[in-house]
Chain A
Amino acid sequence: MTATAIRIRESALDPAKAMYSATLPAGEPWLHEVKQGQTLRIVDLEGNQAADILFYNRHDTDEHYSVTDTILHQGGIYLTTGSVLMSSEGRPMLTIVADTCGRHDTLGGACAAESNTVRYALHKKYMHSCRDNYLLAIQHSDSGLTKADLVPNINFFMNVPVTADGQLKFDDGVSGPGKYVELRAEMDLWVLVSNCPQLNNPCNAYNPTPVQFLIWG
């Protein structure tokens, strides 16, 4: 079993040699392919942003990132260097190979208009949300993904501790400007991202900011 304490590890990869680099503004979606063996780096450019991300098998999208398989496999809820992201078929999808943040959330899920009505107030439903980003990205794609595929996601750079007495807390982020997490793809993937636009809680320090994606072949 992998312990899930914070494990900081820097990467030796050179951003100048990346085959792909893109900056995603706050509140925008991103759907991109990553091939087996490639390395994906996600950079929290300005700090305390939440990048809400889902992964799918590129050749069989019924196989998706599974929070329950992942946390059962490693025996704990936080993601950091060495964590293996498992699929709903119990197979490794990606491995976290570097992490200068040290803790990423598996339980907080993605915001939605509907969940905003529950968490804050009925009239919050017209605010932009991660679910809208996900739906927009997949509606405009030929991925075959639908709402049924919007399963619990990873919130990179977000800190959602669980206490020993069973409370779920939304703490200040452990991330900061320029911190990054790097993942090696263990299969061909779709990567579905919402760069979270939530303004009702401190998950983005009330100031959503851009994130950067780099891919090495």
Chain B
Amino acid sequence: MNPLLTPTAAVDIDTRWQQIAPDLPAEKVLFSDVIPGGCHWSWMLPRGTTLRLVAQDAGANLSVVLYNARQKLERYNMPDSLKAQHTAHYSRGHVLMSDMGCAMASITADSLGWHDPLGLLLDAPRMRAKYGEHGYQQYRNGMYRSGRDGLLIEIGKYGLTRRDLVAPVNFFSKVSVDAEGRFAYHPHHARAGDHVDLRLDMDVIVAVSAAPHPLDPRQDYAPAAVGLTAWRSGPARQDDFCRGFRPECARALHNTDMQYLA
């Protein structure tokens, strides 16, 4: 048994991968965690790792930003990713691209068919106006947390500042746009158990916040938890689905491969 997956009296290793991703072979699992609704975290992870993200309840939202761990000036770029793939939603086959024309992560599995790439993020003033004051003094760790502040905390751990905060991908959320450009938020999109596999195509810093989507119309602050299991998938093979999805994806993955010449 992998000692990194086996709790001891001293080290309370998370074993929830067995519920989050029961189909994954144990020898490929690296670690698991469950991000409580509203909370935030970050990891520095190597190319060839896949993150299985699983909504633990209906209405989940997970805001994700990516930075190249070797060169933090290279970061996820919403417009470059969307225009390259002529898309305003993400699903299996889509590639999250950097401002340097490289694949940072690819969606290799998806139960939902639509994740929101438009990058809207709940900030503290909007959160207070919508949900009221709910600070630490009174509520301790039940305090409300905003997506923007959560991501600022996480990227700050790597020396990145507010000017470095990019528009995130909002996994599990769906926002469509009408003919006049107006947003429509789809409130019953993700359900408990919905999942997406995000393969990391380069060494990345990945920061996440499970705070509510700013267009979520629910009056109460009750964001769902999101389960996460990291597993060793290996980098994209030549017959990879995302490589074949669009020629733009193939070229972005090629550009990343060029960063990993032996």
Contacts and interface: CB of A to CB of B under 8 A. Distances in A.
Interface of A: 1, 3-5, 61-62, 64, 67-69, 71-72, 75-78, 88, 90, 107-110, 112-119, 121-122, 147-152, 160, 162-170
B182 interface: yes
A1 B214 CA distance: 14
B196 interface: no
A76 B182 contact: yes
Given A71-B120, A76-B183, A112-B100, 19 more contacts: A62-B162, A68-B118, A72-B120, A75-B182, A76-B181, A90-B126, A108-B79, A109-B80, A109-B82, A114-B98, A114-B102, A115-B101, A119-B84, A122-B251, A149-B163, A152-B78, A166-B87, A166-B114, A168-B82
A4 B119 CA distance: 18
Interface of B: 73, 77-80, 82-89, 97-102, 114, 118-121, 123, 125-126, 161-167, 176-183, 214-215, 248, 251-252, 254-255
Nearest to B250: A118
Contacts of A78: 180-181
A162 B78 CA distance: 14
Contacts of B161: 62
Contacts, number: 140
B99 A114 contact: yes
Contacts of B125: 90
Contacts of A69: 123
B104 to A, nearest CB: 12
B235 to A, nearest CB: 18
30 contacts: A4-B180, A61-B163, A62-B161, A67-B79, A68-B119, A72-B121, A72-B215, A76-B181, A88-B165, A107-B83, A107-B88, A109-B80, A109-B82, A110-B79, A115-B77, A115-B83, A118-B80, A122-B251, A147-B73, A149-B163, A152-B167, A160-B83, A162-B88, A162-B177, A164-B178, A165-B176, A166-B89, A167-B86, A168-B85, A170-B86
